[in-house]
Amino acid sequence: MGTKSKTLFFAFLLLLSTAHSFYLPGVAPRDFQRGDPLSVKVNKLSSTKTQLPYDFYYLKYCKPSKIVNNAENLGEVLRGDRIENSVYTFEMREDQPCKIVCRKKLDADSAKNFKEKIDDEYRVNMILDNLPVAVRRQRRDGSQSTTYEHGFRVGFKGNYAGSKEEKYFINNHLSFRVMFHRDTETDAARIVGFERLAFLGSGLSSIGYRLSSDQLTYVIIVHCVALVNSINHEYKEWDEKNPQVTTCNKDTKNLIQGSTVPQEVDAGKEVVFTYDVTFKESDIKWASRWDTYLLMNDDQIHWFSIINSLMIVLFLSGMVAMIMMRTLYKDIANYNQLETQDEAQEETGWKLVHGDVFRAPINYGLLCVYVGTGVQIFAMSLVTMIFALLGFLSPSNRGGLMTAMVLLWVFMGIFAGYSSSRLYKMFKGTEWKRITLKTAFMFPGILFAIFFVLNALIWGEQSSGAVPFGTMFALVCLWFGISVPLVFVGSYLGFKKPAIEDPVKTNKIPRQILEQAWYMKPIFSILIGGILPFGAVFIELFFILTSIWLNQFYYIFGFLFIVFVILIITCAEITIVLCYFQLCSEDYHWWWRSYLTAGSSALYLFLYSIFYFFTKLEITKLVSGILYFGYMVIVSYAFFVLTGTIGFYACFWFVRKIYSSVKID
């Protein structure tokens, strides 16, 4: 490879690895003039402890006169997103020092709901101009850089000085800061940041209450003004048309008095909700406004881990390829020079099984179904990643990733039918319609059954994450109306093609398989074969699980694509190597074993998900645990079908290649 080729190659890798910082925004930019109205939308209440999202108005917050649900795509509904209007309204570049929203009197049920959500560490998610609200905080390692957390806490627990009784406090005063980028020529501005400031200062000591250590990690001192987020507002007389509170002064920037106490949550308590907003000009351009949300806390660790994994796998791949090529070329050359069959039998064993190696396996129809389904998953994953690399599935396009995956799965059914029928015809099968029905219904049917049970559990918890009946019906229509017909079309086209011819003839009487060594037993070799593919992806798997279960954005598709390529290479090579050893041991039952060898990596994926559950998550509720493991079963099952298909086709190509390269008498 020349210097120019190397430069282009490394430039391509750099482009892929940095693709997480480039995206095509999902919405067009909006220009705002001074004084233009800005409406904050509320999304959902989310918690990493329960994994059960709730509608914002599930709690007794201030409501607008009419609640309007924004148009949602399929992905948003499946994720439990419910975007609605709110009472929080701003005016562009007009600071509002103290805005009173409403007052609410808590009854027993509403107080109980608030306490439960505070116990479960629920966070409020809001959106302004398609930007989610974020809370700044200092990194725990003490560095000067800051990180952003999505949403803000519903409240917190603490106790007054001199008292051991734990109290619940609600964050009823919100301090927003909107950052904008201004065009110097037109004076129009675009919103590039939406933060909720959490203030903590000297006022805490004067009012005499303590916060837990967990709460302290979610606040940050900004400027020198000391404000708290939980305020027991006081007023002389409440006027609905023009409410005034003595604890909030509109005329000064020092909004909260030093003697202010936090707002407790209890039955019969009255809560006054207030907010303030400030605008700050920023040098950040509109196209880069999502960079803050996409920054990773462990970016250096991620880089090192990915490069380390890439180098190890590439090194192993090179060694394996070199050994295999040298050994095979030597075997094939010796076979073609031998004059008699007796001499060939003395050399090695893989040529001896040429009359049985293409014998149809047991349950070959089921194998065809799983191979076809694997091709469908592979095509969906590949196209989705290409779209993501090009930036069409950015986080600003809410639900776009999941919507794309569902629709691509539906339309890739034609490849599933084609692959399964082609393989089925090679095995001389005749009931292609039955195989087509199994291909169209087996995998999605199992997934739909698990999903239906999990959705019923979510529905029982009254969570907004439950998929409505209308959406469920729409999924069934996509399945039966588009996917199933496309599977039949692909199967018909595949069965019309001439059957794949075997490079050697199959004997009528099966050859007896000799006793195998312990390390060549099916169970041992299958379990060993899944370790290397899992080792190639488990680092990236950690970040994927973190983004899913800890409510973080995942947008490092450049890394993901590299890992996906490594996974394909690793599955193919480990399956080919073990298949070669198996054939040398005169065991010709390679069809299912090649599929299970690479597919066994899904077992390690599920075991790792168990480890992740007990080490990284704080889920305590039974329903939440069932949801986690239910969804991980779905992910592991899909991973099994994908990797198994990759290993099968690699082994299929390898076996046909070596037996078509030797002379068979």
613-628 pLDDT, tens digit per residue, is: 999 898 888 999 999 9
Q: Is residue 485 part of a domain?
A: yes
> DSSP letter at 54?
B
Residue at which a domain ends, from 468, 501, 534: 501
pLDDT at residue 557 greater than cutoff 60: yes
Number of domains in the chain: 3
Q: Which of 134-138, 225-229, 254-258, 609-613 has the highest mean pLDDT?
A: 609-613
Q: Which of 92-106, 331-345, 483-497 has the highest mean pLDDT?
A: 483-497
| pTM of this structure | 0.83
Q: Is residue 358 part of a domain?
A: no
Residue 97's pLDDT is what? 81
Residue at which a domain ends, from 242, 266, 293: 293
Do residue 223 and residue 118 come from a single domain? Answer: yes
- Tens-digit pLDDT profile for residues 84-135: 888 888 888 888 888 888 888 899 999 999 999 999 999 988 888 888 887 7
- Higher-scoring residue by pLDDT: 66, 257: 66
- Higher-scoring residue by pLDDT: 617, 187: 617
- Higher-scoring residue by pLDDT: 391, 357: 357
How large is the average pLDDT for residues 242-257?
64
Do residue 448 and residue 569 come from a single domain? Answer: no
Do residue 388 and residue 440 come from a single domain? Answer: yes
Q: Is residue 447 part of a domain?
A: yes
Euclidean distance between CA atoms 72 and 83, whole angstroms: 8
Q: Is residue 356 part of a domain?
A: no
Distances (CA, A) of 236 to 239, 244, 245: 10, 8, 7
Q: Is residue 352 part of a domain?
A: no
Kindly indicate the confidence band of residue 399, based on its pLDDT and cuts at 50, 70 and 90.
Answer: confident
How large is the average pLDDT for residues 70-85?
77
The secondary structure of 65-89 as a DSSP string is: SS--BPP--HHHHHHT---EEEEEE
Do residue 537 and residue 468 come from a single domain? Answer: no
Structural domain of 388 = 363-501
Q: Is residue 162 part of a domain?
A: yes
Q: Is residue 15 part of a domain?
A: no
Do residue 604 and residue 657 come from a single domain? Answer: yes
Residue 424's pLDDT is what? 93
Do residue 477 and residue 425 come from a single domain? Answer: yes
Residue 39's pLDDT is what? 86
pLDDT at residue 411 greater than cutoff 50: yes
Residue 163's pLDDT is what? 74
- Tens-digit pLDDT profile for residues 129-180: 888 887 766 555 555 556 677 788 898 888 777 777 888 999 888 888 888 8
How large is the average pLDDT for residues 520-527?
87
Do residue 532 and residue 491 come from a single domain? Answer: no
pLDDT at residue 11 greater than cutoff 50: no
pLDDT at residue 423 greater than cutoff 60: yes
Do residue 169 and residue 226 come from a single domain? Answer: yes
Residue 22's pLDDT is what? 41
- Listed in sequence order, the residues at least 6 apart from 109 whose beta carbon sits closer than 8 Å to its beta carbon are none
Query: 33: how many CB neighbours lie within 10 A of its CB?
Result: 11
- 3-state DSSP assignment of residue 156: strand
Distances (CA, A) of 84 to 71, 101, 552, 602: 9, 17, 21, 39
Do residue 565 and residue 648 come from a single domain? Answer: yes
pLDDT at residue 359 greater than cutoff 60: yes
Structure token pair of residue 649: 């086709």
- 3-state DSSP assignment of residue 2: coil
- Higher-scoring residue by pLDDT: 222, 48: 48
Residue 207 CA, distance from chain mean position: 44
If you average pLDDT over every residue of the chain, what do you get?
Answer: 79
Residue at which a domain ends, from 501, 532, 562: 501
Do residue 164 and residue 265 come from a single domain? Answer: yes
Q: Is residue 349 part of a domain?
A: no
Do residue 530 and residue 490 come from a single domain? Answer: no
Kindly indicate the confidence band of residue 7, based on its pLDDT and cuts at 50, 70 and 90.
Answer: very low
Do residue 395 and residue 497 come from a single domain? Answer: yes
Lowest mean per-residue pLDDT among 391-395, 423-427, 590-594: 391-395
CB 282 within 8 A of CB 193: yes
